[in-house]
Amino acid sequence: MGKPKIVIVGGVAGGASAAAKARRCSEDAEIVMFEKGPNIAYANCGLPYYLSGVIENRDNLLIVTEKRFQQRFRVDVQTQREVSRIDRARKVVVVRNLKTGSMEEEPYDRLILSPGSSPVIPPLPGVDLPFVFTFKTLEDTDRIYQFVREKRPRKAVIVGGGLIGMEVMENLGLTGLKVSIVERLGQILPFLDWDMAELVRQHAETKGASLLLSQGLKVIENRNGSGMVHTEVGKTVKADLVILSLGIRPNVALAVEAGLEIGETGGIKVNEYMQTSDPDIFAAGDCVESIHRVTGKPFLTPMGSVANKQGRAAGANALGRKIAVKGFLGTVILKVFDLTIAKTGLSEVEAQQASFDPLVTFIHPGHIAEYYPGSKPLHMKTITDKTSGQLLGGQVIGEEGVDKRIDVLATAIYHRMPLDELLHLDLAYAPPYSAARDPVVIAGAIGQNFFEGDWIPITPTALHEKIESRGNLTLIDVRSRKECLKEGMIPGAIHIPLHHLRDRIDQLDKDRETVVYCRTGLRSYLATRILMQKGFTRVKNLTGGTMSWVYPVKKGGLR
Amino acid sequence: MGKPKIVIVGGVAGGASAAAKARRCSEDAEIVMFEKGPNIAYANCGLPYYLSGVIENRDNLLIVTEKRFQQRFRVDVQTQREVSRIDRARKVVVVRNLKTGSMEEEPYDRLILSPGSSPVIPPLPGVDLPFVFTFKTLEDTDRIYQFVREKRPRKAVIVGGGLIGMEVMENLGLTGLKVSIVERLGQILPFLDWDMAELVRQHAETKGASLLLSQGLKVIENRNGSGMVHTEVGKTVKADLVILSLGIRPNVALAVEAGLEIGETGGIKVNEYMQTSDPDIFAAGDCVESIHRVTGKPFLTPMGSVANKQGRAAGANALGRKIAVKGFLGTVILKVFDLTIAKTGLSEVEAQQASFDPLVTFIHPGHIAEYYPGSKPLHMKTITDKTSGQLLGGQVIGEEGVDKRIDVLATAIYHRMPLDELLHLDLAYAPPYSAARDPVVIAGAIGQNFFEGDWIPITPTALHEKIESRGNLTLIDVRSRKECLKEGMIPGAIHIPLHHLRDRIDQLDKDRETVVYCRTGLRSYLATRILMQKGFTRVKNLTGGTMSWVYPVKKGGLR
């Protein structure tokens, strides 16, 4: 190619990254970028915060204007142009001008597809009513923004309690709306395990959020211009505004029609160079499937940060470079009221689905030194392959310091780090930033203790099932009397404060299954060590203690 | 050993960790812990913040009381006992009771040394005056605390501008004292490179700090109960309170006298199991030397977080376990007024000293998405081995988000990660926490660009030297006219805004050494790409742009 002609379909995260990188790789290339919508390279992930006014100025969302992009990169940016067909034999795309309706052909040497994804709209009555919206693009946001300011709705229902649903819930709430979420599953934020999502649900409800779980949308009814949302279990919620937030699907129609290979996840199949089954066609962003670094299997991870990396590689490789994309971990983070919620790698459920035998631990250390003002508890769950010792995933919830720990875990998992090695990380320590034992280091230490044979954890859910099934069990609460009285006890527990355990050990049956617990799992670990060394053969420690216990407790249960 | 007897010398970070871990490994062991001072297991790193009252309650510094430690771990804690000699042949230590003066012998099967370190006191006149203090222990802190509250000093001088000196400066300043620092070197915080330390110095001076650099202490003079501090260059500063903060030395007298091997750094030599040259004697904490994971060489890293890890391993291994300590990175973090300053791995100077050929890059991205309220610039320097591509070190300065990035870099360096692989990290992205391109990912991308041959950086210091030596150079400022007028230009630069560069390229000499710069290094990278592709053979990009330029600029220099 003397002067290669690069055509890019889509001008937001993946497409704009590809165009900019392509230019940096070649001053000579002719680069044309078609975008269906009116804007390119806008801050998709900032949209919920613009709804609420947290981001005040709409212009701030437009990261690069069309004009500056053309000036800086000499890319021929064509907005409101929809690429409707790829003719691979002739190497042209057919483009519809959405302003005029006219059709044109554009030849390419290399084509980069980054058409993004579309919101899932369920085939249910009422989803096309005028007060029902999807929330995906800047134009969607503009429509909702205008509706809220003009029609002054008082009640909103969001259908779907995933990441976007929860972000929109909080931001709509900030405008004064009363917001309910309707969710088909038994939990919000399905990328989390139930036990972690439950902490978020409880927090959201203390903030006045109304979360209707285990009930999908059935129908939206129009009553005099505002709506009634009916759920599958017969519940009805009034709504002046409904937002459908049921996830997204990769936009693959163009690729399918052109005969490009589509993966099992429904995304376009690409190799590590973002090359599709046609070597002259690359793809990036929400439309492709990625490789999960832990499972090695394809998955969808529609994030702006992912699209940028993929677009950059696609742009370079379309010009003959060989820049690999090394897979992703499905890392996510979001804010829900006072909490930050983050996850990387596999959840416990996902680890089981991928046939791992997971070691699960919970810890609840302060996000900084507990003696320093402003320390807030973190809730950290780690999932580890018992066979290899490799850390598979982490989930962190808390008011502060969550993003730091999830990024350290993501970096660790990138390197297939064993859980116990986290202990060795030389993380930055000063009281305003961390404890001398950082939460990540603590997770490593308790992992090492497990692999050294010093303790066996039991999860809250496993213990709860055991109690429900009335198993034969000694359950020992080693907290102080004051804590038991104040916070209640797990049903069926007996109370032996840690510092009396050695003296009362002879009252206990060495051969009976024994579970110990405290508030966080630390004192009960010490109790575990005492019991195991004194010949107790079947001791388990409730990992995370009562701070991980999301089930009912028994008040006044002390004896 | 039926009931092994473990004796521990020192009861703060390393010693207390060792004692607790030893008990968890053996219920049967007899464990005795001697501490010279009156307190065990207190929060050493919190002491500066107690001086100021940021930490209000002294009790909060006492993490575990003697009584609870005894109750919980059945460790025989003996405070105000100084171990004065080790008789290795008879396996006993000789202990002085500091309350009574009496001497006793204590036999051991395994001995763990964790006597800490002592402040360096220079042999200069006046260091023993009553208003001159060191700052290391809780007792030191109590003395200064009392002096400040009782004597109401108005001016303080801190001798030494290292980490502790700077922390004490800020915290004393919060009590209303006017504080000056006297530092022998030409920079504060000597673990940083000069160019990063200079950013901190400039910030501290805008906050009213008085920093006297390149002048060591000569003498402290007593004038009617308050002092005059004279420096080596003849400067005199009034001081009602002087704190000597000239670093610390490992306490090795006991080990030396017992004939244990001492390393070249002056710390006790231990293997990865924290075992000294006597297999029955272990050591941990400030008294030992550690292995630097990057250089593989011994170094001193006196941090509480390090001592805890070493103590834990020593405690376990003294009872027959085999728990390795895998080396450290010298990670440090501190707060200076509004800034957080952090470093991990090698500095540029340290990399040169270790015979690496370092690639140095600076970036200044926002700590979160720049369109989200509250985004603050980070200043990040990375040091990479040009030969292997391996990241050797990082330095980060900023108001927010510094601790997160340094911990990710520390985790990356632990894994000997190549700089360009940082690009692949799947870090958590949402606007309140990060940009779609996290600063760490940006560092990876510009690293990949370097190793792909797309640009060559020049550091501010190298450019400054080139300008000073009046080298033959085309220096191009590609910022906007407005920025040049507002912020001034680097002396000798010509101004060609990026979007005019392509049109004016024919005016430039392709074969002349050419340096381009902008505000951060991004636009000048784009300029570099244009120039290189148009046949300019000797183009360099000022890494970090004017935001890294700590030298004077020329105001009104636009032409």
- Read off the CATH number of the domain in which A542 is found: 3.40.250.10
Tokens 């801050």 appear where?
A43
pLDDT value of residue A471? 80
Q: Could you give the CA distance from residue B373 to residue A448 in angstroms, rounded to a whole number?
A: 41
- From the list B25, B45, B484, B518, the catalytic residue is B45
List phi, psi (to 5°) of A481: -55, -40
The answer for B 372-411 residues in CB contact with A (under 8 A) is: 372-373, 403-404, 406-408, 410-411
Note whether A71 and A15 are same-domain residues: yes
B22: nearest CA partner in chain A: A529
Query: Do B9 and B111 have their domain in common?
Result: yes
pTM (whole model) above 0.95: yes
Contact present, A179 and A211 (Cβ < 8 Å): no
Residues of B in contact with A372 (CB under 8 A): 46, 49, 54-55
Terminus-to-terminus CA distance in chain B, angstroms?
A: 84
Q: Would you give the DSSP letter of residue B80?
A: S
Residue B58 contacts A, CB cutoff 8 Å: no
* Strands A236-239 and A290-291, sheet pairing: unpaired
Dist. CA B240–CA B227, nearest whole Å: 6
Boundary of a domain, candidates A402, A436, A451: A451
Confidence band (pLDDT; 50, 70, 90) for B154?
A: very high
pLDDT at A470: 87
pLDDT at A42 over 90: no
Q: Which two tokens stand for residue A362?
A: 């919970």
Residues A14-34 have a mean pLDDT of: 96
pLDDT of residue B48: 95
How far apart are the C-alpha atoms of B361 and B543, rounded to whole Å? 6
- Residues B286, B390: one domain? no
Mark whether B110 and B151 lie in a shared domain.
Answer: no
In a domain, A553, yes or no: no
Residue A281 CB-density burial (10 A; 0-12 exposed, 13-18 middle, 19+ buried): buried
Task: Among A424, A451, A478, identify where a domain stops.
Answer: A451
Q: Which of A327, A371, A436 sits opposite B13 (nearest CB)?
A: A436
If pLDDT is split at 50, 70 and 90, which confidence band does A226 have? confident
Q: Are residues B403 and B464 in the same domain?
A: no
Q: How far is A536 from chain B (nearest CA, A)?
A: 13
The answer to whether the Cβ–Cβ distance between B27 and A530 falls below 8 Å is yes
Inspect the interface and report whether the beta carbons of B55 and A372 lie closer than 8 Å: yes
Q: Is the dihedral of CA B527, B533, B536, B541 positive or negative?
A: positive
In a domain, A331, yes or no: no
Mean pLDDT of chain A: 96
Pairing between strand B92-97 and B494-495? unpaired
Do residue B106 and residue B153 come from a single domain?
no
* pLDDT computed for residue A557 by the predictor: 67
Number of H helices, E strands in chain B: 15, 30
Residue of B6, B268, B273 whose CA lies nearest to B115: B268
Segment B84-135, tens digit of pLDDT: 999 999 999 999 999 999 999 999 999 999 999 999 999 999 999 999 999 9
Residue B386: is its pLDDT beyond 90? yes
What residue has token string 């923004």? A145
Cα separation, A520 vs A78, in Å, equals 57
User: Which pLDDT tens digit goes with each residue over B423-467?
Assistant: 999 999 999 999 999 999 999 999 999 999 999 999 999 999 999
Alpha carbon distance B476, B71 (integer Å): 70
Distance, CA of A352 to CA of A373 (rounded, Å) = 40
The helix (H) or strand (E) run that includes residue A181 is: strand A178-182
pLDDT digits (tens, 9 = 90+) for A345-382: 999 999 999 999 999 999 999 999 999 999 999 999 99
CATH classification at residue B268: 3.50.50.60
Phi, psi values for residue A462, rounded to 5°:
-65, -40
Residue A234: pLDDT band with limits 50, 70, 90: very high
> Parallel, antiparallel, or unpaired: how do β-strands B332-336 and B339-345 relate?
antiparallel
Above 60 in pLDDT, residue A1? Answer: no
Same domain for B362 and B430, yes or no, is yes
Residue A279, C-beta contacts closer than 8 angstroms, at least 6 positions apart: none
CA distance A551 to chain B (A): 29
Q: Beta B236-239 vs B226-231: how paired, if at all?
A: antiparallel
- pLDDT band of residue A51 (cuts 50, 70, 90) is very high
Q: Is A222 found in the same domain as A149?
A: yes
Residue A406 lies in a domain: yes
Q: Are residues B81 and B162 in the same domain?
A: no
B511 shares a domain with B477: yes
Please state at what angle helix A304-317 crosses helix B439-451, rounded to 10 degrees: 10
Residues with Cβ within 8 Å of residue B66, at least 6 apart in sequence: B39, B40, B77, B79
Quick check: A45 and B342 CB within 8 A?
Answer: no
Residue B328 in any domain: the answer is no
Q: Evaluate whether residue A423 is within a structural domain.
A: yes
- Average pLDDT on B291-300 reads 98
Whether residue A255 contacts residue A283, with contact meaning beta carbons closer than 8 Å, is answered with yes
Distance CA A524, CA A548 (A): 14
Whether residues A518 and A464 fall in one domain = yes
Average confidence (pLDDT) over A270-293: 98
Q: What is the dihedral of CA B69, B74, B78, B79, to 10 degrees?
A: 0
Question: Could you tell me if residue B558 is inside a domain?
Answer: no
Looking at the structure, tell me whether residues A107 and A59 fall in a common domain: yes
Contact assessment for residue A134 and residue A244, using Cβ atoms and an 8 Å cutoff: yes
Specify if A558 maps to a domain: no
Known catalytic membership, residue B45: yes
pLDDT tens, residue by residue, B470-520: 888 999 999 999 999 999 999 999 999 999 999 999 999 999 999 999 999
Coarse DSSP helix, strand, coil percentages of chain B, rounded to the nearest 5 percent: 30, 25, 40
**pLDDT for A307-347, tens place per residue?**
999 999 999 999 999 999 999 999 999 999 999 999 999 99
pLDDT band at B226 (very low <50, low <70, confident <90, very high): confident
ipTM of the complex: 0.97
Residue A339 is predicted with a pLDDT of: 98
Chain A, 162-181: which have a CB under 8 Å from a chain B CB? 167
User: Which residues on A lie below 8 Å from B534 (Cβ)?
Assistant: 27
CA dihedral A145, A148, A149, A155 (to 10 degrees): -150
DSSP per position, A442-485: HHHHHHHHHHTTS--EE-HHHHHHHHHTT-S-EEEE-S-HHHHH
CATH of the domain at B381: 3.30.390.30
Question: Does A288 fall in a domain?
Answer: yes
Give residue A468's domain range. Answer: 457-548
Nearest by CB to B427, which of A331, A371, A445? A331
Number of domains chain B is built from: 4
